[in-house]
């Protein structure tokens, strides 16, 4: 039992390091990375809603007949509620990116929870949708991230590949090339529908990349859609009577590390 607790504690404290490295994240934490069905690719967007850019993404997604997951910032939803409503009305999945875009590694667990809870309330009240997915800003996962997700009933998820479309020198060609480096069936793609935390106008590179990425997805022979249709095995185990075991088991559930689950189950 002591060995199991020690292993769990090591995973918790090493989490920010492990989850920040894509190759390690995909192998050690497949569900947290967004690995899903081998016949599907999940398409996700961060940082909106933004009146300058989000409607253009919605138009292009509609042209491609894609539905995606939009990880919204509560602060942006408060500023542009009609755009958030437009995303939901178009049939896209609504998810939580936090209220303000600040790394969880720079916040206390209490501050992380307060920010996430405020975002959930804001997004749900505006869109009429109860979000189920949570992606922390910058993909920075801390124990506070996982504890907040557990308390709010959210499933944390990052990505398997991204377009790095936030860079000032990004272009549609660089976005496609960056996504393609790690694109595989079952992957989760990260793009941005706003430049509120990126280089001004950076969203244009992601928008321009959607059509050539659609060709790449077709070559892979996969369906494209939101995380809710992706088959990510992200379930929270219910453990009564032991707060520490419950928190650590949630980390296992979000990562897919089965031995950790078996070790900690005896603690309940």
- pLDDT at residue 145 is higher than 60: yes
Q: Is the pLDDT of residue 260 over 50?
A: no
* The pLDDT value given to residue 40: 97
**Per-residue model confidence (pLDDT) at position 141:** 86
CATH architecture of the domain with residue range 36-238: Alpha-Beta Barrel (3.20)
Arithmetic mean of pLDDT, 109-131: 96
Residues classed as catalytic: 46, 192
pLDDT at 73: 97
**SS3 labels along the chain:** CHHHHHHHHHHHHHHHHHHHCHHHHHHHCHHHHCCCCCCEEEEEEECCCCCCCHHHHHHHHHHHCCCCEEEECHHHHHHCHHHHHHHHHCCCEEEECCCCCCCHHHCCHHHHHHHHHHHHHHHHHHHCCCCCEECCHHHCCCHHHHHHHHHHCCEECCCCEECCCCCCCCCHHHHHHHHHHHCCCCCEEEEECCCCCCCCCCHHHHHHHHHHHHHHHHHHCCEEECHHHCCCCCCCCCCCCCHHHHHHHHHHHHHCCHHHHHHHHCCC
Domain boundaries, the chain: 36-238
Backbone angles phi, psi at 95, to 5 degrees: -140, 175
Q: What is the mean pLDDT of the chain?
A: 83
Q: Which residues pair with 44 in a beta bridge?
A: 69, 190
Q: Which CA distances in Å does 142 have to 110, 124, 240?
A: 12, 24, 23
Interval 202-236: pLDDT, tens: 999 999 999 999 999 999 999 999 999 999 875 44
d(CA 189, CA 169) in angstroms, rounded, equals: 20
Quote the pLDDT of residue 176.
98
- Dihedral (C-alpha) 46, 218, 132, 250: value to the nearest 10 degrees? -100
Average pLDDT rounded to a whole number, residues 25-35: 73
∠ Cα 257 261 227 (to 5°): 50
- Token pair, residue 133, equals 């997915």
Confidence class for position 241, pLDDT limits 50, 70, 90 = very low
pLDDT of 68 above 80: yes
Tokens representing residue 106 in the block: 């720079």
Q: Binning pLDDT at 50, 70 and 90, where does residue 23 land?
A: low
129 vs 126: CA distance, rounded Å: 8
For range 7-29, the mean pLDDT:
49
- Whole-model pTM? 0.82
**Beta carbons of 88 and 54 less than 8 angstroms apart:** no
Q: What is the mean pLDDT of residues 184-201?
A: 96
Average pLDDT over residues 120-145: 93
Prior bond to 153 cis, omega within 30? no
Per-residue tokens: 27: 């192998």
Determine the pLDDT at residue 202.
96
pLDDT at residue 19 greater than cutoff 70: no
Which residue in this structure is represented by tokens 């000032």?
A: 168
Quote the CA–CA distance of 84 and 91 in Å, as a whole number: 12
**Angle, to 10 degrees, between the axis of helix 54-64 and the axis of helix 203-220?**
20
pLDDT score, position 237:
39
Q: What is the pLDDT of residue 28?
A: 53
């Amino acid at each position: 039992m002591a060995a199991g607790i020690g292993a769990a504690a090591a995973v918790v404290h090493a989490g920010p390091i492990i989850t920040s490295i894509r190759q390690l994240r995909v192998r050690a934490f497949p569900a947290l990375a967004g690995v899903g069905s081998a016949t599907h690719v999940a398409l996700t967007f961060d940082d909106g809603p933004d009146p300058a850019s989000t409607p253009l993404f919605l138009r292009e997604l509609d042209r491609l007949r894609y539905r995606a997951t939009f990880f919204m910032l509560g602060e942006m939803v408060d500023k542009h509620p009609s755009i958030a409503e437009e995303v939901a009305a178009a049939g896209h999945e609504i998810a939580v990116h936090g209220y303000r875009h600040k790394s969880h590694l720079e916040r206390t667990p209490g501050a992380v929870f307060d920010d996430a809870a405020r975002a959930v309330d804001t997004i749900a009240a505006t869109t009429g949708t109860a979000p189920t997915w949570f992606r922390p800003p910058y993909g920075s996962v801390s124990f506070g991230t996982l504890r907040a997700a557990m308390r709010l009933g959210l499933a944390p998820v990052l990505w398997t590949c991204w377009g790095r479309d936030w860079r000032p020198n990004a272009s549609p060609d660089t976005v496609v090339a960056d996504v393609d480096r790690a694109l595989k069936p079952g992957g989760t793609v990260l793009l941005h529908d706003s430049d509120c935390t990126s280089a001004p106008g950076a969203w244009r590179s992601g928008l321009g990349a959607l059509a050539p990425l659609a060709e790449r997805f077709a070559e892979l022979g996969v369906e494209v859609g939101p995380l809710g249709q992706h088959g990510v095995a992200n379930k929270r185990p219910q453990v009564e009577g032991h707060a520490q075991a419950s928190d650590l088991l949630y980390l296992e559930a979000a990562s897919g590390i089965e031995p950790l689950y078996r070790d900690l189950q005896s603690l309940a």
